Amino acid sequence: MYANSSSDTPASDFWTHADRHLVRYGGEFTREIIERAAGSFVYTADGRRILDFTSGQMSAILGHSHPEIVETVRRQVASLDHLYSGMLSRPVVDLARRLAGTLPAPLEKTLLLTTGAESNEAAIRMAKLVTGKHEIVSFARSWHGMTQAAASATYSAGRKGYGPSAPGNFAIPVPNAYRPDFTAPDGTLDWRRQLDFAFGMIDAQSTGSLAACIVEPVLSSGGIIEPPAGYFGALQAKCRERGMLLILDEAQTGLCRTGSWYAFERDGIVPDILTLSKTLGAGLPLAAVVTSAEIEQEAYERGFLFFTTHVSDPLPAAVGNTVLDVLVRDGLDERARSLGTYLRKGLEELADRHEVVGDIRGRGLLAGLELVVDRTTKESSDDLGARVTRRCLELGLHMNIVQLSGMGGVFRIAPPLTATEEELALGLEILDEALAYASASRRPDDSAR
């Protein structure tokens, strides 16, 4: 007999059912029952209000339950929600046309999908088909998704225990200015020498079948690392020399998050293929692959196949159109720049007060704060980061921390673009208190082993 769902299930029963029936897919679940969300906050079953400094899964750029998104979903789901994948609707064509209007030439052809992994899967598949090659290059701390080709190009986590990845995948070092591996005489990162070395190694390993390089303009799961100005132009030149396509994954950086519509604008380049997801649906499952008419035509002539259940679905496409409406009308690129400046200043003030803050980086409303136990050695501590995260949650702030080998804990800070200065100030105040608490309770053996 089927049991009914109930909104008033006691917390003890809720967690009993969760522990018994849910597959754990990325560590432990946060032990809070979330009942609703609005704006920059989520609300728990026991009445707590938690400031969301991650925009959900780095996606809800308009905050939670934005009234115009709510109205679009209500209206669209009542008229046209899903179609046979070979059929088209007005929201799909409108969104493709409008996305092209936000992008430089020759990016004008769009494939609408659901998740970032799916869009990267499609982009890699297209690149392999168009070039007739199969080898893929990506950063050593990348995250592009958990499906086969995307996971094979992901190196920050999830590679062990699953058997062979797709053949022909290579990693190149990340140009991390805070922890440089190739240095100039003054100790700063020598990214040009690093990039030359990286592609020397790629050339040594390649079988002559290099198809594409897929990278994030700002590595998010890799610790909010932004390559230096000029890097992506040089990377694109390396790709051109080898007949490779350049794919930029702007899942988290696209659509005003970094203070410009697309993060690649800073470098004056245009990728061969652009992938969008998270921010495009503002929390709903919507993703896109955008490329040139020339590449699309070549892929079509070679029989490009990416026929999925929810390709070109009208409901999420309608939401995407509303997201564009709000971004343009409210000037959220400029707002992200302004709020980003305010956030950065607040984080720098925290660094002045707390020795455990090693580095602050990022752009716009995508910021990173790296924790260390010693600023001189840059020695890391997993436990320190975990303690700060727990204390933030206790005080009413949800933070996401990246903890990778060889790095301290790095907070990924990405509040909604609709957040207010008062909300950012509240988050900074809580983080300040949590850092003080964690530093005071730090044990002598906190350093990474």
Q: Give me the active site residues, please.
A: 143, 216, 249, 252, 278, 412
Give the sheet arrangement for strand 410-413, strand by strand.
Answer: 357-363, 366-371, 410-413, 400-402
**Kind of pairing between the strands at 410-413 and 287-292:** unpaired
* Tokens found for residue 370: 């790296």
Helix (H) or strand (E) holding 297: helix 293-301
Q: How far apart are the first and last CA of the chain?
A: 51
Say how far apart CA 171 and CA 138 lie, in whole Å.
5
Helix (H) or strand (E) holding 87: none
Question: Distances from the Cα of 261 to the Cαs of 121, 143, 280, in angstroms?
Answer: 23, 21, 11
Amino acid present at 247: I
The residue whose two tokens read 């499609």 is 122
Q: Provide the β-strand partners of residue 213.
A: 137, 246
Contact predicate 124/142, CB 8 Å: no
Is the backbone peptide bond immediately before 164 cis, with ω within 30 degrees of 0? no
**Kind of pairing between the strands at 273-276 and 287-292:** antiparallel
The residue whose two tokens read 């607040």 is 346
Say how far apart CA 258 and CA 340 lie, in whole Å.
8
* Tokens found for residue 198: 């990286």
Q: Of 124, 153, 150, which Cα lies nearest the Cα of 140?
A: 153
Rounded to 5°, the CA angle 386-432-377 comes to 60
Rounded to 5°, the CA angle 126-132-137 comes to 70
Say how far apart CA 266 and CA 285 lie, in whole Å.
27
